[in-house]
Amino acid sequence: MTQARGKFISFEGIDGAGKSTHIGFVSSYLRERGLELVSTREPGGTPLGEKLRELVLHEKMHLETEALLMFASRREHLAQVIEPALASGAWVISDRFTDASFAYQGGGRGLGRDKLDALEQWVHPDLQPDLTLLFDVPLEVARARLDATRALDKFEQEKADFFAAARAEYLRRAAQFPARFRVIDSTQTIAAIQLQLAALLDAIL
Ligand code: TYD
């Protein structure tokens, strides 16, 4: 008998949208239902990927270098973690995936979509998340949440127009791929969002 393939869920949203809070809820919800779960993140998720993360989050670099490093980290992540886990029947939840490259390097920094499409085709031509949860909030709400938390990395220090463009690109991707995206109004209370997430997860369990 062949092992049923696991499902792949990605979490997206501009910095401060609240995705980290909800990843914890989703992972407990799935574990409580007996699923084997791999919880990971991008950039990062492997020893090499975590080194690349340090570089891209803190060093200044050419826009295309940044995009290439994001996809280099992703290539390693797919080979070492995501693909083997899904093949073994485990579910994978990832804090960001390729939609973040479209939002940040594409929308935010202005890298051409043709280049991002080419990288996506190169690195994962046949794989997309089964479900992408996009936590969406107005910029002011995201900014207020960020300022209240911690020391900001290179991306988090960007200006409002960067995040406006990143948010717009996320919403464009959601409209382009409605079958896998669910946009969550992240101005709602945590409890209301958890109810919505539980219903979404029940539908695919
Ligand atoms: P984030 O996921 O927000 O982690 P933390 O909550 O620990 O800060 O940080 C990752 C940053 O990397 C975020 O600002 C978005 C950025 N990023 C890209 O620019 N492109 C990508 O392809 C990915 C995966 C992330």
Q: Kindly state if the Cβ of 170 falls inside 6 Å of ligand 1.
A: no
The DSSP 8-state label assigned to residue 40 in this structure reads E
Helix and strand numbers, DSSP H then E, in the chain: 9, 5
- Give the tokens for residue 173: 């991707």
Is 45 annotated for ligand binding?
no
Compute, in angstroms, the gap from residue 25 CA to the centroid of ligand 1: 20
pTM of the model: 0.96
Tallying the residues shown for the chain, one arrives at 205
* pLDDT over threshold 60, residue 1: no
Q: Which atom of ligand 1 is nearest to the CA of 108?
A: 19
Radius of gyration, alpha carbons of the chain: 16
Q: What is the pLDDT of residues 71-118, one digit of tens each?
A: 999 999 999 999 999 999 999 999 999 999 999 999 999 999 999 999
Cβ neighbourhood burial of 138 (10 Å; 0-12, 13-18, 19+)? middle
- Neighbouring residues of 153: CB distance < 8 A, sequence distance ≥ 6: 57, 58
Over the chain, what is the mean pLDDT? 96
Q: Check whether 100 is labelled as a binding-site residue.
A: no
Asked if residue 49 belongs to a known ligand binding site, the reply is no
In ligand 1, which atom is closest to the CA atom of 43? 24
Phi, psi for 182 (deg, rounded to 5): -130, 120
Q: Would you kindly state where each structural domain of the chain is located, as residue ranges?
A: 8-204
pLDDT surpassing 80 at residue 2: no
Ligand-binding annotation for 202, yes or no, is no
CA pair distance 71, 61, nearest whole angstrom: 15
Q: Ligand 1: does its nearest atom lie under 6 Å from the Cβ of 77?
A: no
The Cα–Cα gap between 82 and 70 comes to 15
**Residues 154-170: tens digit of each pLDDT:** 999 998 999 999 999 99
Substitution candidate for ligand 1 out of 53, 62, 96 with most atoms within 8 A of CB: 96
CATH superfamily of domain region 8-204: P-loop containing nucleotide triphosphate hydrolases (3.40.50.300)
